[in-house]
Chains A and B, each alone.
Chain A
Amino acid sequence: AQTIHQWPVAEIKAVGSPLSLGCTIKGKSSPNLYWYWQATGGTLQQLFYSITVGQVESVVQLNLSASRPKDDQFILSTEKLLLSHSGFYLCAWSHWGVSYEQYFGPGTRLTVL
């Protein structure tokens, strides 16, 4: 069975500080990977997707970047956090080649002060 892990579970960071969030999927080779952001009480906004190692596509610009250093790993980062970055970050995966059924990880709660 596939399992998806995200780390950390929660972060409290200062404005202007750097950030790195991670996502790992086990039990699935060559998955498509996705990053989503959800503002408190808001909808899910797709940020990035990746269909293969080293290749990442940006969907919206939020002064964030993403990388896929390994087949099973997806990293979301920024060098300088903004207050508007606060929210819930979700990683998701789907089977290679299709985006249809997406399965979400447990998420990371980010608070920027």
Chain B
Amino acid sequence: QQQVRQSPQSLTVWEGETAILNCSYEDSTFDYFPWYRLFPGESPALLIAIRPVSNKKEDGRFTIFFNKREKKLSLHITDSQPGDSATYFCAASGNTGNYKYVFGAGTRLKVIA
């Protein structure tokens, strides 16, 4: 079964620190890796995404680092804010025409002021 694994399960950082959330996958046919953020009581919202043609994708304080050879990626949140406290899901999707989407178990981030 296609799997996407995330670590750690939960993470606590101080305000201003960089939070690092990890993700790994098994299926080399995956070619799109989005990160979704989920606040309690809300539905997941697309945060940032990357494709294997790039090894880095940056959007403000959020950066994805991608290692295709090791099938690993990580989400770095710099200058973490209490408002970043949420659950972050890594997901993977296959080639064009493949509509299956696999989510990791999520990392629950808590940012302490």
Contact = CB atoms under 8 A, between A and B. Distances in A.
Interface of A: 32, 34, 42-46, 49, 51, 57, 59, 90, 97-107
B109 interface: no
Contacts of A104: 43-45
B25 to A, nearest CB: 14
B109 to A, nearest CB: 15
Contacts of B91: 44
A65 B3 CA distance: 24
Nearest to B104: A43
Interface string B18-40: 00000000000000101000000
Interface of B: 32, 34, 42-46, 49, 89, 91, 93-94, 96, 98-106
B101 A102 contact: yes
The 6 tightest CB contacts between A and B, nearest first, are A104-B43, A44-B103, A99-B99, A43-B105, A49-B99, A43-B103
B32 A100 contact: yes
Nearest to A91: B43
Nearest to A100: B32
A2 to B, nearest CB: 13
